[in-house]
Amino acid sequence: MTSIPSPERKQAVYAGAQAARDGMHRSENPHPVESETWSNWMDGFDHQTAWLLNGRGTYDPFAADASSPHETSHPFD
C-alpha cells in the first residue's frame, strides 16, 4: 500500500532538503518545534545531509525512482 503525502508535507521536506544543500544549520529550521511541519522539514534536511555525505546528489523521496542513499557504492569504497 502506498500513501500519498500531502502537498504541505512535500513542501516542508523539499524545503528542508534545499536548506541542507544551501549549507544551512539544522537549528535554522523556521517552523515551530512542536509542529508537524518542523518534523517534516527536519526529515528533508537530515535525509539530504545523508545523501550528500554519500555522494548521491539531490534527495527526492517523492520521485518515482526514490531510493536509499546507501543503495549504490560509496565513492570511497
What single-letter amino acid sits at 34?
E
Instruction: Identify the band that residue 48 occupies on the pLDDT scale cut at 50, 70 and 90.
Output: very high
Kindly tell me if the per-residue pLDDT of 23 is higher than 60: yes
Residue that is written with C-alpha cell 535525509 in the block? 47
pTM of the model: 0.76
State the chain's mean pLDDT as an integer.
83
CB-CB contact of 59 with 46 (8 Å): no
As a whole number, mean pLDDT of residues 17-42 equals 95
Q: Report helix angle 7-21 to 36-53, nearest 10.
A: 40
